[in-house]
């Protein structure tokens, strides 16, 4: 099982940013604004004030969304860096295993060569003894 890391506590501004970004990125915001603008227009309130209000709101929404995006990007970068570190460790383990296997294969080759020499020597001795016995 993978180790679970403790998430750092979010500050009040980070929590606020998440809440605002979630709301304005949802259908609830569309419904809210539709009713808000409809009421404003039905009661014929001052359109210049509405324009000012909407402009200011757009500025703040843009700021909150950028803050949320930046936070998400930082979190993604951290996860990516952790994954790269994990992969580097795995590559190190793979290289170590390859070296060990190469060393073991060389030992097997050396043992095989030694056994082949011994078999050749025994075969020659057997052949020499067989020739002397004839």
CA distance 58 to 35: 17
CA distance 116 to 124: 12
- Is residue 118 over pLDDT 70? yes
Residue range 120-132, pLDDT digits in tens: 998 888 888 877 7
- Is residue 90 over pLDDT 50? yes
Supply 67's token pair. 């803050």
Place of tokens 């004839």: 134
Q: What is the pLDDT of residue 133?
A: 64
Q: What is the pLDDT of residue 3?
A: 47
List CB contacts of 64: < 8 A, sequence separation 6 or more: 17, 20, 21, 24
pTM of the full structure? 0.50
Q: Are 64 and 72 in contact (CB under 8 A)?
A: no
pLDDT classification of 1: cutoffs 50, 70, 90: very low
Residue range 29-86, pLDDT digits in tens: 889 999 998 998 898 888 899 899 899 999 998 888 888 888 888 889 999 999 999 9
CA triple 73-78-81, angle to 5 deg: 125
């Amino acid at each position: 099982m993978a180790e679970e890391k403790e998430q750092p506590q979010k500050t009040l501004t980070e929590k606020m940013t998440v809440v605002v970004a979630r709301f304005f990125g949802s259908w609830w915001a569309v419904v809210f604004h539709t009713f808000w603008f409809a009421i404003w227009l039905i009661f014929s309130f001052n359109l210049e004030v509405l324009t000012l209000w909407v402009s200011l709101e757009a500025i703040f929404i843009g700021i909150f969304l950028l803050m949320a995006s930046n936070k998400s990007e930082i979190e993604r970068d951290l996860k990516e860096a952790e994954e790269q570190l994990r992969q580097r460790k795995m590559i190190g383990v793979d290289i170590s295993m390859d070296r060990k296997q190469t060393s073991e294969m060389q030992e097997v080759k050396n043992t095989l060569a030694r056994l082949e020499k011994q078999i050749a020597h025994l075969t020659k001795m057997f052949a020499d003894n067989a020739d002397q016995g004839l």
